[in-house]
Structure 1
Amino acid sequence: MTVVSVSMPEELLERIDSFAGEHGYTGRSEVVREAARNLLGEFEDKRLENRDLMAVVTVIFDYETTSVEERMMGLRHEYEGLVKSNFHNHVGNHYCMELFVLEGQLQDISTFVGRIRATRDTLSVDYSVMPIDEFTNVVDE
């Protein structure tokens, strides 16, 4: 197996080590391999391909990192055809939450989420995806 060197904050490394111990992993490498497989596979759901999708993306970051807020604004404008709604809110004493509502195809949503995840200093990126036709069928019943 190839050895890969990865840089990460000490706090994240401590969380990985703790997670590995609590969940019976043999070590941090096993946790990182599983996380990589999950990340790479999360947008490979065949039932989502070639369908109109709705997605909700939530981003948390420290309010003092204005570069994140500027990046979120830039992505909102760059993907204006995909972003149907955007909401910014202050959370607690030191954090901001950016919420995006998207409508589009899987590849576009995947790219958008990837660009957010690649933004330095984000603390959390969470999302959910649902085919619009499934949602409208539930509403129509």
Structure 2
Amino acid sequence: MQRVTITLDDELIAELDRFMKGRGYQNRSEAIRDLARAGMQQARVETSDSGDCVAALVYVYDHTVRELAKRLADAHHHHHDLSVAAMQVHLDHASCMEVALLRGATQEVHHFAEHVIAERGVRHGRLVAVPVEVKQETHAHGKDQAKRHPHIHVRHAG
């Protein structure tokens, strides 16, 4: 194990200390190691140009922004091959939160998410993607005759 020295501003240290207390970390090194691992794992998924993924795109938008709801719906329709399902929650008189479940080529899912998040009136957006492998498998379910259909298997981080 190597020792490294980093410099953090007071606000970030206070936030780190609150994070540690809330999660039960014993020291800053443990917390920073876990945060670094999580960040690097997410970065690997985000920069992966190959393979498929399943993902949750969460975003908050102002539905009073002209035509925004229509533009978002149109985006999902234009990418119906990626959009599996969506759920919307009204937060207040103007704000809506939507959770969109996506599945497809990692690069296409990220491109779609970036497009949605960049729309004027979208206030917050985050994509959580999980790398998967889609395999065609043949077997029966219950008393049904065996048939070939896709199964989605989570790829383990390397």
What residue identity is the alignment partner of 1:114? E
Q: Is the 8 A contact 2:130 2:154 kept in 1?
A: no
Q: Is the 8 A contact 1:43 1:106 kept in 2?
A: no
Which of the pair has the greater relative contact order for Cα pairs under 8 Å at 6+ separation?
Answer: 1
Q: Quick one: structure 1 residues 137 and 130, their matched pair in 2 at CA, closer, same or farther if it must change by over 3 Å?
A: closer
Matches of 1:82 and 1:76 in 2, distance apart?
Answer: 8
Q: Quick one: structure 1 residues 111 and 132, their matched pair in 2 at CA, closer, same or farther if it must change by over 3 Å?
A: same
* Deviating more after overlay: 65-74 vs 121-130: 65-74
Aligned to 1:51: 51
The Cα offsets for residues 23-43 of structure 1, whole Å up to 9 and x where unpaired, read as: 49xxxxxxxxxxxxx9xx947
**Is 1:22 matched with 2:14?**
no
Aligned to 1:121: 121
Q: Is the 8 A contact 1:91 1:97 kept in 2?
A: yes
Higher share of residues assigned strand = 2
Q: What TM-score, normalized to structure 2? A: 0.53
C-alpha deviation, 1:106, in angstroms: 1.3
Matches of 2:46 and 2:70 in 1, distance apart?
Answer: 31
Aligned to 2:70: 70
**Runs of at least 4 residues off by over 6 Å:** none
Aligned to 2:132: 132
State percent identity of aligned pairs.
Answer: 18
C-alpha deviation, 1:49, in angstroms: 4.0
**Is 1:85 matched with 2:85?**
yes
Higher share of residues assigned helix = 1
Matches of 1:21 and 1:67 in 2, distance apart?
Answer: 42
User: How many equivalent pairs are there?
Assistant: 103
Question: What secondary structure, in the 3-state scheme, does the structure 2 residue paired with 1:132 have?
Answer: strand
What is the aligned-residue RMSD (CA, Å)?
3.1
Q: Is there any run of 5+ residues in structure 2 with no aligned partner, and where? A: 1-8, 14-38, 134-151
Q: What TM-score, normalized to structure 1? A: 0.59
Matches of 1:125 and 1:42 in 2, distance apart?
Answer: 16
Bigger CA radius of gyration = 2
Question: What secondary structure, in the 3-state scheme, does the structure 1 residue paired with 2:116 have?
Answer: helix
What residue identity is the alignment partner of 2:63? Y
What residue identity is the alignment partner of 1:73? A
Q: Quick one: structure 1 residues 63 and 105, their matched pair in 2 at CA, closer, same or farther if it must change by over 3 Å?
A: same
The Cα offsets for residues 32-85 of structure 1, whole Å up to 9 and x where unpaired, read as: xxxxxx9xx947756x44322101001101232252211210111010001111
C-alpha deviation, 1:137, in angstroms: 5.7
